[in-house]
Structure formats: C-alpha cells, structure tokens
C-alpha cells in the first residue's frame, strides 16, 4: 500500500486502468463519497487496490447535495435527532474561485451549456454538477455502495492490520466485512459546535445552528442575534437582513471600537461577544449594550465526529483536533492502514 499523502487531488490526466504490478494490492474501504472520498477512490484504484466506497446518502457530492430539509433539533443538542448531512443554504455561492476548486486532473471549468452556472464563484448546484461529472468521467460510481452507512470500524484483534467494518443499508440489512485498510472521508461540517452562553437555560427565545439554516423567510420581522464571523456568518447575516427586523452580529473578533452599525444596512449591528442572556429575553454583550432578541443563531462552526471509529485510544479528538496524525492524514501507529482525507479547515480543499 503506498504511503503517499492524499490531500484532495488527483494526478492522472485520463482514466487509467489499474497499474499492472502493484507492490501489494489491498482491499480498501473508503468512508464517504464527497469530494475527498471520490478522489481517494480513484487514486487507490490507480495504484491497483480494490476499493469499496461506503456512502450513506443516495448520491455522490456530500456537502454539495443541497436539501431544504433541516434536522428535528435545530440547535443540534439531541443525539437522537434526525440527521441531515449538508449544511448548505439556498443562496450559497462558493467563496473560492472555481480555479481553486477543481482537481488537477479535472479542472472545474465553466461549461458551454445554458443550464450551467458559468460564474467564477458559482452557486452550490454547479459544484455538485462538477462532482457528478468527475464521477462519471472516472467511473467512480461503480465503486460506491450507496445508502450504506458505516456504523463501526475497528481493528481485528486476531489479525493485526485488518479492519472489521460493520455497515447498515437503508433497507435495514447489516453486513460485517474485513478490509486491509480504511480511509475516512466523512466530512466535518455536520456536527454543530455551539457557543457557551451564561444564562441560556433560562432564556425564553429560540436557538438554532447555521447547519439548519436554509432560507431567510423564518426570520421575517424577528430580532436575531447571530454569533460568528466566518464565511457562513457573513453570508447568513446578509441573507436574513433582507427580512428580519434587526440583526445583531456578535463575534469574538469585534473589539469595542469596531462595534456599531454595519455599513450598507440600516438593520444590522456588530457587537463583541455575548456576556449573558436573561429570563426576560435580553441579550447582553460584553460592551454593556443589550437587545431583546427572538432568536440566537449560532454560526460557530462544527466538530470532528467519528462515531463509528474504535482505535483503542490511538486516535482521539481533543479540543476539536484529530491526532496524533502525520501530515493531517496518517496516525503513525496505524499507518498506512488507517488514514483521514480532507481534515484541515483553513485550506483550499481540492488543491
């Protein structure tokens, strides 16, 4: 099995048959058919390995499969809530130019097709179409088992370096199989991370996480406190400012002197972080200002989550870091038979 690092990229110019004499051909499970799982699958196949991609959804694309559905618990506290994978909102356009969102072997170029989105920062549907085109071009779907969720991954005790994978099909059928290696590509924008707020259990308003934000309409005429300052917070605050009565953005990055009106909007204000919230509906900010709010919307990011993975403590998530990992991919004690593709946050994921 090669030990080369697979960040989301592929090198082959055209679809390739398996290499004639791989060093050793392994049976490899890839978990997830988003961008990371798709590119991992073709790289492994090119090296001559046999690959099975497990995908719990019914199509490729992961995050880029938009759904108007939201989870049963909009803040994401209830572990038994109905789960939705994608965190996309309807208005989302990419925040990277398409030139930075294509695999090297298959650039994300604008299509000469009136139904496609030729913009440099296209809408989310265009990214899904790109990933579907990529899948077709490299015949990746023949490797994917759709509607099959991996529920358990653990080392086989009797045989070192073998992995036992239990999966569950949507039909309810369970299966347990042995693989030589596992690559985890399950994404990290699904499990909400929320801000800790003093007094929140007494506060009477509604709370939700941006994972469950789709369209602005539910915020019509509401006073909204939105927490966060990253890409989703910026997009969503602007989206809802069109219909909400007031939007108050609270962010750790806002210092006292920068708080105040948000230019270009007469119903949006910037604040430092929330200090506390109270029974009467007030939300106090750290600079002493306060508002009476209807909703707190947490645009506060996500947690790594591998509910299926058992490594006897060798790989852990601590303070939202996965480790120990070599180059964010291989846990040294289990390499190369266990690896993670697509973990880093502040990157161009496809390059």
Which residues contribute to the site for ligand FAD (CB under 6 A)? Answer: 31-37, 54-57, 62-64, 85, 87-88, 92, 94-96, 101, 149-150, 185-187, 189, 232, 308, 342, 349-350
Nearer to ligand FAD, 178 or 198 (CB): 178
Tokens 């991370």 belong to 193
| Cβ closest to ligand FAD, residue 46 vs residue 56 | 56
Which lies closer to ligand FAD via its Cβ, residue 236 or residue 250? 236
Contact 90, 112 (CB under 8 A): no
Closest to ligand FAD by CB, 290 or 304: 304
Sorted by sequence, the CB contacts under 8 Å of residue 330 that are 6+ apart come out as: 3, 5, 336, 338, 339
Residue 179 tokens, joined = 């693989």
Kindly state the smallest distance separating residue 341's Cβ from ligand FAD, in Å.
7
Nearer to ligand FAD, 34 or 272 (CB): 34
**Nearest distance from C-beta of residue 64 to ligand FAD, angstroms:** 6
Please say which residue, 101 or 291, places its beta carbon nearer to ligand FAD.
101
- Residue whose pair of structure tokens reads 């045989």 in the numeric block: 159
48 vs 216 by CB, closer to ligand FAD: 216
> Which of residues 142 and 202 has its CB atom nearest to ligand FAD in the complex?
142
Closest contact distance (angstroms) between CB of 219 and ligand FAD is: 18
**Least distance between ligand FAD and beta carbon 351 (Å):** 9
Q: Inter-axis angle of helices 124-137 and 35-46, to 10 degrees?
A: 20
User: Tokens 């049963």 appear where?
Assistant: 72
Q: What is the DSSP string of 178-208?
A: EESEEEE---SSSEE-----TTTTT--SEEE
Q: How far is the CB of 167 from ligand FAD (least distance, A)?
A: 7
∠ CA 155-333-321 to the nearest 5 degrees? Answer: 95
Tokens 């965190």 correspond to what residue?
Answer: 87
- Burial 7-46, CB ≥16 within 10 A → b, else e: bbbbeeeeeeeeeeeeeeebebbbbbbbbbbbbbbbbbbb
The minimum distance between CB 9 and ligand FAD, in angstroms, equals 12
Question: What is the nearest approach in angstroms of ligand FAD to the Cβ of residue 200?
Answer: 24
Distance of CA 66 to the CA centre of its chain: 12
Beta strand pairing status for 282-285 and 148-155?
unpaired
**Minimum separation from the CB atom of position 101 to ligand FAD (A):** 5
d(CA 118, CA 121): 8
Burial class (CB in 10 A: 0-12, 13-18, 19+), 301: buried
**34 vs 76, beta carbon nearer ligand FAD:** 34
Output the smallest distance, CB 211 to ligand FAD, in A.
8
């Amino acid at each position: 099995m090669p030990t080369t690092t697979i960040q989301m990229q592929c090198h082959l110019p055209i679809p390739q048959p398996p290499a004639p004499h791989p060093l050793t051909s392994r049976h490899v499970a890839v978990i997830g058919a988003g961008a990371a799982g798709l590119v991992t699958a073709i790289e492994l196949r090119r090296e001559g390995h046999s690959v099975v991609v497990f995908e719990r959804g019914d199509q490729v694309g992961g995050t880029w499969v938009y759904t108007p559905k939201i989870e049963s618990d909009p803040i994401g506290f209830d572990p038994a809530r109905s789960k939705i994978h994608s965190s996309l909102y309807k208005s989302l356009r990419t925040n990277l130019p398409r030139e930075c969102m294509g695999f090297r072997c298959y650039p994300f170029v604008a299509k000469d097709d009136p139904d496609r989105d030729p913009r440099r920062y296209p809408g989310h549907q265009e990214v899904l179409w790109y990933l579907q085109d990529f899948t077709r071009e490299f015949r990746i779907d023949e490797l994917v088992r759709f509607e099959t969720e991996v529920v358990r991954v653990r080392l086989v005790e009797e045989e070192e370096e073998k992995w036992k994978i239990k999966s569950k099909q949507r039909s309810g059928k369970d299966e347990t199989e042995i693989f030589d290696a596992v690559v985890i590509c399950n994404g990290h924008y699904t499990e909400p991370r929320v801000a800790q707020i003093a007094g929140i259990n007494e506060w009477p308003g509604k709370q939700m996480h941006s994972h469950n934000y789709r369209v602005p309409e539910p915020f019509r005429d509401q006073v909204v406190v939105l927490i966060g300052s990253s890409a989703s917070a910026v997009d969503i605050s602007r989206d809802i400012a069109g219909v909400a009565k007031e939007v108050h953005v609270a962010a750790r990055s806002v210092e006292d002197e920068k708080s105040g009106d948000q230019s270009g909007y007469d119903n949006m204000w910037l604040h430092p972080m929330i200090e506390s919230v109270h029974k009467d509906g007030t939300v106090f900010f750290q600079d002493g200002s306060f508002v009476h709010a209807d909703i707190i919307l947490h645009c506060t990011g996500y947690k790594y989550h591998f509910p299926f993975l058992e490594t006897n403590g060798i790989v852990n998530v601590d303070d939202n870091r996965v480790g120990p990992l070599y180059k964010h991919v291989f846990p040294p004690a289990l390499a190369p038979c266990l690896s993670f593709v697509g973990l880093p946050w502040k990157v161009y994921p496809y390059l």
